[in-house]
Every structure is written in C-alpha cells, then in structure tokens.
Amino acid sequence: MAYVIDDSCINCGACLEECPVEAITAGDEKHVIDADACIDCGACAGACPVDAPKEG
C-alpha cells in the first residue's frame, strides 16, 4: 500500500529528494504522494523531520 503524507507536513521538501520514483509533489499546504507511482519503499518517511509520511 502506498504511503500518504498527513497534516503534520511542514512543506519542507526533505522527502522530495529521497523518493526514487519521484512520486512526491509539493502541494499548497503539504506535499502529496501519487499512490499509483509510490513503490512503498519508505524512503520519504526516513527523511521527514516530522514523521508526516505514513503507510496508507
């Protein structure tokens, strides 16, 4: 199951560079993960300073 970014996201962009399949985009208030592109690797979760990415 793909990861999702919850409302604790501070829009810092730390997750963007860690995603090997470029499934993350910057939204207006938080970053968003494309569920169809996500390979469930967890790299984004490891990079996030506020633990916003969660297994969906």
**The residue type at 19:** C
Write down the pLDDT at residue 45. 97
Which letter does DSSP use for residue 39 in this model?
A: -
Write down the pLDDT at residue 25. 97
Q: Mean pLDDT by 10-residue block, N- to C-terminus, for the chain (56 residues)? A: 95 96 95 97 98 95
Write down the pLDDT at residue 3. 97
Let me know: does 11 contact 31? Beta carbons within 8 Å: yes
Write out the two tokens for 8. 């604790």
Write down the pLDDT at residue 16. 94
Mark out the alpha helices in the chain (DSSP H runs): 14-18, 43-47
3-state secondary structure of 49: coil
